[in-house]
A and B are shown apart, each in its own frame.
Chain A
Amino acid sequence: MRILNYILLAVFAGLLIYATVHLPARGDADAPMHRQENVVGDPVAGAYFISNAYRDAATPNMVTVVLADYRSVDTLGEVLVVFTAGVCCFLILRRRLYD
């Protein structure tokens, strides 16, 4: 059983290494994620964020602009996840004074 685990581990490691070999090179301008248009020819959202983040929000850090302005509803969901974790720990774990 132990041998089988190691074999499985080696197979998955080989699979991951095989997948990383075919990734585009770092900084490759022709990589799909760096194109300004997708395969259909529509403009990609990321290119808009990069060119217009400073003009829209006067903030040099475009990650902050994407996080708190363009995709702020997503961030609201993340905050609610943290808040829900706190409330759940409160409801399950906190000791009552009288019980």
Chain B
Amino acid sequence: MDIFMIILLVLLIVCAISVTFSKNLLNSVIIFMSYSLIMSVIWMLLESPDLAITEAAVGAGVTSILFFVTLKKIQGIIKNPENEKKEEEVSDEKSE
């Protein structure tokens, strides 16, 4: 049980750090979602199932959906950054 808990905590820290370092906003929302999921398992292991249910529904579900909708509204979802760059280069060459 202890080893499982340590693995979960390490994963939690890795998720928390990679959220900040991810360049793509969509990726960071998805990583944040997995952070909430790991957190809900940890709540379960800490014997508070009430919090685990709420964390899974609100943290992993509703919050990230709201983030997705907001990203779509501000057009923050970039499908593939590398392709985008190539397209920009092509258009630059054309304009020159």
Whether chains A and B associate is no
